[in-house]
Structure 1
Amino acid sequence: MSIFSGTIHTLEQSLDYSSLKNKTISNNIANVDTANYKAKDVVFKDVLNSASSSLEAKRTHPKHLPFQATPNTTPYNVIQRDNTTYNHNGNNVDVDKEMTELAKNQIYYQAVVDRLNGKFGSLKTVIKGGR
């Protein structure tokens, strides 16, 4: 039995994802002038699609679709963008795109932190007996 709901674990994974995305974007920006550097992205969808083929769960009715549960793995991967080249030196970092992604990621991170603070605030209220 867990003292916290699955929501806190999900929010923790969301913070991990956002932190990794921020690190990846920062590396891309730092290497904007590095020859032959290929920008990297953090992706979730590819991992989900590949994992969905191996899902398995208990079937309570013969007409239920079978699927298999996967072990706890990181739900995202860092991939390299190889399909473009923006600069004459083989580099494909677009600073405007990276800055936009950084701003979006900061908003996402702050939203997750606010939600996590709300969850802990609720727990604090319960612990204090509603006061």
Structure 2
Amino acid sequence: MAISFDKAFGLHPDAMLIRDRRAQVLAENIANADTPGYKAKDIDFHQALQQARARQGGNIARTDEKHFNISIASRQETQFRNPDQPDTGDGNSVDIHRERNAFMQNSLEYQASMTFLNSRISGLKKAITGGGQ
């Protein structure tokens, strides 16, 4: 019986890639909090995850049944965030408190996916090796 990694892991690998990219975008915002004219950016996680789901159906054709299914993943596009605060005069739209909170929330969600995947991999490893004592 073949193990389907798509079924075993679900969308968690895609979610982790999106969260990784979002962490980069949020870190750029934090790093540019004092840069005049810098506009805060973000990634719409739910929209990016829907795109990842749609891609799962559109895998590259395999020439042999032993080949892995590989999906064509595109880099998630960033969007400018609507500022919550009025312009301070320098054109910068970064709210450092919002960015830090978003970064922390994103980190926690990334860690939750990592924990889930580690648990899944551990279970698969036990199933393959007969991990019983």
Identity of aligned residues (%): 27
Q: CA deviation at 1:25?
A: 0.5
| Segment of structure 1 superposing worse, 69-78 or 32-41 | 69-78
2:116 corresponds in structure 1 to 115
2:96 corresponds in structure 1 to 95
SS in 1 for 2:104: helix
1:86/1:94 contact within 8 Å kept: no
1:28 corresponds in structure 2 to 29
The whole-number CA distance in structure 1 between the counterparts of 2:49 and 2:130 is 41
TM-score (norm 2): 0.70
1:59 corresponds in structure 2 to none
The whole-number CA distance in structure 1 between the counterparts of 2:83 and 2:100 is 20
Unaligned runs of 5+ in 2: 60-71
1:8 corresponds in structure 2 to 9
Alignment of 1:71-90 (within 5 A): 73-74=73-74, 76-81=76-81, 85-90=86-91
2:128 corresponds in structure 1 to 127
SS in 1 for 2:5: coil
SS in 2 for 1:77: coil
The whole-number CA distance in structure 2 between the counterparts of 1:75 and 1:6 is 23
Q: CA deviation at 1:77?
A: 3.1
Q: CA deviation at 1:100?
A: 0.5
